[in-house]
Structure 1
Amino acid sequence: MSTARETVYATLKERIIEGDLHPGQRLIERDLAAELEVSRVPVREALGRLEAERLVVLVPRQGVLVSPFTPQDVADFFDVRESLEVLAARLTAQRADGNGLAALRAVLDQADEATRRRDARAIALANAAFHTAVVALSGNALLVDMMRPLEARLRWLFRLTHYDPEQQCAEHHELYQAIAAHDSDAAADQVLRHIHAGRARSVELAATWTAVDPVAATRTRRRRT
């Protein structure tokens, strides 16, 4: 895989997640190529990968847009999380061994340190990584595959919403304790309450994120095959 392709993909993905490219913003292939000093081929390939992760959307006659993240998009995202992450927490509490718990604890420590530094980017990265680690430790390969395309969108959500980092850490520690105790019911209940707590505020904030008419863009979102 070419270095240029990977560099362009990583750069654009980071700019979207960090908010430098905002929801609904149009991305012009030739301009991105000129800015990044590459040909249009790696830009086109990177945009294809980002579309698969639902970070950009191809809109007929408009080109490529950073995906709108509308209130309905956020509600749909939380519906999925409240189902799949609850299952992941339950399975992880049943199956996590000492090595898995140590890995999960290490991610918690990273989040604690980022919170102490008030490093917003590192906080979002570590907190999203904690959720990803819980899924990875579930031991269910199909569940891991289903959640993998949502990892970038989860971090993006954390960056757009600016959750209270101390509260996030506290709730993650409670989830970790339930998992470490191998209490699957408590782990499932804790992660459900944790995810649901941020739902209403996230849906409300989503109305302010998109700079273009999201309805026009999302109507055509599923046309591409």
Structure 2
Amino acid sequence: MTTPRPAAGSSALGDSHPSLRERVYVELRERIIEAEYAAGTRLVEREIAEELRVSRVPVREAMQRLESEGFLSVRPRRGSVVADFGPRDAAHLFDVRENLEGLAARLAARHATPAQLRDLEGLLARARKAAESGRLREAVSLNADFHRRIVELSGNPLLVDLMAPLDSRLRRLFRLTSAQSDGEPMCGAHERLYAAVRDRDEHGAETLARAHVADTRASTERLLATLEEQDSE
């Protein structure tokens, strides 16, 4: 069963555009990322269509897309369920991130404009303030935004397209581990990376980006393994 969500008086997703299928896809993806649909939750096409007040076609297309991106899996006699995100999934994500985020940081140091750097500095300031105020979930969300912004600052549209699916996986990973995360070290690592990008230090930015991914890998995989064991008990 799915969990009802729309607020009283809210409009159906079909009442506006862009693309209805895109709106349904984004809605379902965000529910998975934010753990409103936990791993193992069965998603029923008909129920979702009724809840969102749309036809079953855009729901079916959105679920097929989420399946292709690894957010949903099809299980015998259960249909579509929210896929697990365990240590092995994290390992695959980190393998790709270390290389592509290193490249993104190097290109950002080369191409970022002064206006973009000011925006990035403001984002870091908000993340630091949230961490110091104990608003850990907000800090984690802002730090996830930092990774996405670095990719955007690379100035390479192909890299942006390649990283877009990984951004959703990264946000889901950050959300799953946010309760046990420490925003302070992450803020510090991002501030050092920002300084390298600002100073046009391409080699330094790439090195710091790779090191940041590597530093968080082992602890994240251990945490996910612990969560996996707890869920199986």
Query: If the TM-score is normalised by the length of the shorter chain, which range does it land in?
Result: 0.7 to 0.9
In structure 2, C-alpha distance between the alignment counterparts of 1:185 and 1:97, rounded to whole Å: 18
**Contact 2:98–2:210 at 8 Å: present in 1 too?**
yes
**SS at 2:212 equivalent:** helix
Task: Report % sequence identity.
Answer: 46
Deviations 1:107-133 (A, max 9, x none): 213322432443344323211111011
Structure 1 pair 188/181, CA: closer, same or farther in 2 (3 Å)? Answer: same
RCO (CA 8 Å, sep 6+): is it higher in 1 or 2?
1
The amino acid across from 1:170 in the alignment is G
Rate the CA distance shift 1:120–1:5 in 2: closer, same or farther, 3 A: farther
Q: Note if contact 2:111-2:154 (Cα within 8 Å) is conserved in structure 1.
A: yes
Between stretches 168-177 and 123-132, larger displacement belongs to 123-132
SS in 1 for 2:80: strand
Distance in structure 2 (CA, Å) of the matches to 1:20 and 1:211: 19
- Aligned pair partner of 1:46 in 45, 55, 62: 62
Conserved 8 A contact 1:24-1:212: no
1:88 is matched with 104
Going from structure 1 to structure 2, the CA distance change for 1:119 and 1:45 (only over 3 Å counts) comes to farther
User: What is the TM-score of this pair, normalised by structure 2?
Assistant: 0.80
One-letter amino acid matched to 1:111: A
CA contact (8 A) 1:88 1:134 kept: yes
- In 1: Cα distance, 2:189 partner to 2:34 partner: 24
Q: Which residue in the other structure is 2:224 paired with?
A: 206
- Superposed displacement of residue 37, structure 1: 4.2
8 Å contact 1:53–1:150 — kept in the other structure?
no
Alignment counterpart, residue 165 of structure 1, candidates 177, 183, 192: 183
The match for 1:155 among 171, 175, 194 is 171
**Inter-partner Cα distance in structure 2 for 1:154 and 1:129:** 10
Secondary structure, aligned partner of 1:198: helix
Q: Distance in 2 between matches of 1:15 and 1:113?
A: 26
Q: Number of matched residues?
A: 213
The whole-number CA distance in structure 1 between the counterparts of 2:72 and 2:229 is 13
Alignment correspondent of 1:182:
200
Contact conserved, 1:86 with 1:192, CA < 8 A, in 2? yes
Change (3 A) 1:37 1:114: farther
Deviates more, 1:110-119 or 1:146-155: 110-119
Q: Which runs of 5 or more structure 2 residues have no equivalent in the other structure?
A: 1-12
Counterparts in 2 of 1:116 and 1:45: CA distance versus 1, 3 Å = farther
Tell me the alpha carbon deviations over residues 14-72 of structure 1, each in whole angstroms, 9 at most, x when there is no partner.
Answer: 22111121223322222333444444233223323333443223446542121221211
TM-score, length-normalised on structure 1? 0.82
